[in-house]
Structure 1
Amino acid sequence: MPRPTLNDLAAFSAVAGQRSFRKAADQLGVSRSALSHALNGLELRLGVRLLHRTTRSVSPTEAGARLLERLDPVLRDLDAALDGLTETGAAPAGPLRINANRSGARWLLRRVVPAFRARYPGVELDLVSEGRLVDIVEGGFDAGVRLAEAVPRDMIAVPVAGEVRFVAVASPAYLAGRPPLTVPDDLERHDCIRQRLPSGKRYRWEFSRHGTSIAVDAPGALTLDDNDLMVQAAADGLGIAYVPEPFAREVLRAGGLVTVLDEWCPPGPGLMLYYPGRRHVPAALKAFIGVLREANRDAAEG
């Protein structure tokens, strides 16, 4: 019986790990038809079925699961050996594509990109900023940046910055003469500036205090889809906005806004850079993560 090639085994590991021919094909940079043909040939040569296939899902058979359990450590060791050779050779070069929301892109441009560009001039950084959450594998991105709660569970995540606190803010002029706010339910008696998410849904304001969490469908006749615009609208007296604190910090310092419901607004996990949990991570992305971690340490120490 002809022994399978390393490419065939790597293809099986990718499909079984991703549980998807499409995602595995994107990961490996091949067509789905070529990948399916390779897996059919592998099963034929081994004389055993390795994958259960339906129109909607792919999963390892019992034999496939046993092979995957033994195969993955071998492939990881091989990748580590090859990466060791790369690390002792030339500096990372070539394209690096990252998809981020606007706040993440701003943070990277201010804290990470300058040092990264100075250290790795051979890397062509393509930083795409958009609000909607995309499938970074399908979109051809090496990594994404989003709030921790939006990171897919099958991704490896690295903190981009520290915790972030969402705050409810309003102008002193708006609050003058209006009912006080002590609990989130008090928002029912106020005008709120609602937020439209990239998915098209309205964001439910999430509060927490002493282990009690509550999500409020804030009432209001104005809906916006941009944090900067929400801060501006709140400063103009149009109502209460609920935004990440960094967006409102300057206006808060200047006195144009004040916070309300402070005790119900604890910090939570912030932005994360995430990438597929595959064995091989591009050298350029490894280098970028290294600079990102340095920036995080500097920010914590500063």
Structure 2
Amino acid sequence: MRTTDLSELAAFDAVARHRSFRKASEERGVTASAISHAVSNLEARVGVRLLNRTTRSVSLTDAGAMLLAQLSPAFGDIGAALDTLNRFRDTPFGKVRINAPNSIAPFVLGPMIGPLLTANPNLELEIIATDRLVDIVDEGFDAGIRLGESLRDGMTAVKIEPRLRFAVVGSPAYFQHRPLPTKPADLMQHVCIRNLYPSGVGYPWSFTRDGEETDVNVKGPLALHDHELMIEAALAGVALAYVWEDRARPYVDSGRLLSCLTDWIAPEDWLYLYYPTRRYISAGLRAVIQALRAGG
């Protein structure tokens, strides 16, 4: 097979997995028109239509689905074969694509990036931070990060650090005319920022102490899903915010925000790095796992 044939097959594989020429072009690092040209050349060469294209969608024909089913493990084997060359290098080589929630990525990945890349100069990290729930296989990621261990079948989960927890914070100006809450129920007498998932669905503020667990559906005129905006609103004295403790810490340490109900907030579930069980683990991904893995 000629090199151009393999390149065309790789272009088709990317489009078929993403159901998108644009996303395939981003993964392959070329223009969408180059991807389209490569797939058209492949279809002309084999004499069979592999993709159905409209202005809004891309879908597989029966022939395309059959080809993808055989190509995917083949490309996996090629990647694994190339990755074995890492044993002849001092450090891992190649790209590792990671997806992580935007709200926690700075605290989980931020401290790890510098030491990892310094120790592995041939490693390339590509991190996409979004609070949208992502299918890491369909979107071409090597691994993802998620709170809790509720993952779909076919995924391996590795417990990682740090373990995060929430904090309830407000500005000194907010508390000038209001007492600090001493128990979760007191929040019903306060103006609070309502927390949202990216989908727009709200979630309560959760607390636990001495085996007692309670959720509070707080009230207030502002609903947000971005923790940075919550911090800004709290700094402005608009309302109390329920945010990641690490995000609020610099403002609490400087006195610009006050933290309350600290004895009612327990650490969240562990964070997990997860990846497809049946996919080979590259040397680069192994390096990332080692850098993040929780001790004990």
TM-score by length of structure 1 reads 0.65
2:94 aligned residue: 94
The structure-2 alpha-carbon separation of the partners of 1:225 and 1:213, relative to structure 1 and needing over 3 Å to count, comes to same
Structure 1 position 177, deviation (Å):
3.0
Amino acid at match of 1:228: E
Identity over aligned pairs, percent: 41
Amino acid at match of 2:88: G
Q: Which moved more, 1:233-242 or 1:263-272?
A: 263-272
Q: What are structure 2's unaligned runs of at least 5 residues?
A: 1-16, 18-63, 72-80
User: Deviation digits for residues 143-183 of structure 1, max 9, x if unmatched?
Assistant: 1123336x525433334422212111112221233255232
The structure-2 alpha-carbon separation of the partners of 1:88 and 1:225, relative to structure 1 and needing over 3 Å to count, comes to same
Measure, in 2, the Cα distance between the counterparts of 1:216 and 1:225: 17
The structure-2 alpha-carbon separation of the partners of 1:188 and 1:107, relative to structure 1 and needing over 3 Å to count, comes to closer
The structure-2 alpha-carbon separation of the partners of 1:201 and 1:114, relative to structure 1 and needing over 3 Å to count, comes to same
Matched, 1:278 2:249: no
| SS of equivalent to 2:219 | coil
2:151 aligned residue: 152
Aligned match for 1:33, one of 66, 70, 74: 66
Q: Is the Cα contact below 8 Å between 2:83 and 2:282 reproduced in 1?
A: no
2:223 aligned residue: 223
The structure-2 alpha-carbon separation of the partners of 1:125 and 1:272, relative to structure 1 and needing over 3 Å to count, comes to same
Measure, in 2, the Cα distance between the counterparts of 1:109 and 1:183: 33
Matched, 1:115 2:115: yes
The structure-2 alpha-carbon separation of the partners of 1:186 and 1:140, relative to structure 1 and needing over 3 Å to count, comes to same
| SS of equivalent to 2:110 | helix
Amino acid at match of 1:93: F
Q: Is the Cα contact below 8 Å between 2:83 and 2:283 reproduced in 1?
A: no
Measure, in 2, the Cα distance between the counterparts of 1:104 and 1:239: 22
Q: Is the Cα contact below 8 Å between 1:99 and 1:128 reproduced in 2?
A: yes
User: Deviation digits for residues 52-92 of structure 1, max 9, x if unmatched?
Assistant: xxxxxxxxxxxxxxxxxxxxxxxxxxxxxx89965633443
| SS of equivalent to 1:146 | strand
2:46 aligned residue: none
Q: Is the Cα contact below 8 Å between 2:170 and 2:240 reproduced in 1?
A: yes
1:265 aligned residue: 265
Measure, in 2, the Cα distance between the counterparts of 1:109 and 1:279: 23
User: Deviation digits for residues 208-265 of structure 1, max 9, x if unmatched?
Assistant: 1111212222111011221122112112111110011001101111112112222211
Q: Is the Cα contact below 8 Å between 2:174 and 2:238 reproduced in 1?
A: yes
Measure, in 1, the Cα distance between the counterparts of 2:206 and 2:273: 23
What's the C-alpha RMSD, in Å, of the aligned pairs?
A: 3.2
TM-score by length of structure 2 reads 0.66
Q: What are structure 1's unaligned runs of at least 5 residues?
A: 1-21, 23-30, 39-81
| SS of equivalent to 2:188 | helix
2:211 aligned residue: 211
Q: Is the Cα contact below 8 Å between 1:112 and 1:291 reproduced in 2?
A: yes
Q: Is the Cα contact below 8 Å between 1:104 and 1:145 reproduced in 2?
A: no
Measure, in 2, the Cα distance between the counterparts of 1:173 and 1:108: 31
Structure 1 position 283, deviation (Å):
2.2
Amino acid at match of 2:210: H
The structure-2 alpha-carbon separation of the partners of 1:156 and 1:247, relative to structure 1 and needing over 3 Å to count, comes to same
Structure 1 position 204, deviation (Å):
1.4
Q: Is the Cα contact below 8 Å between 2:98 and 2:141 reproduced in 1?
A: yes
Measure, in 1, the Cα distance between the counterparts of 2:176 and 2:119: 53
Q: Is the Cα contact below 8 Å between 1:104 and 1:271 reproduced in 2?
A: no
| SS of equivalent to 2:268 | coil
Measure, in 2, the Cα distance between the counterparts of 1:285 and 1:142: 7
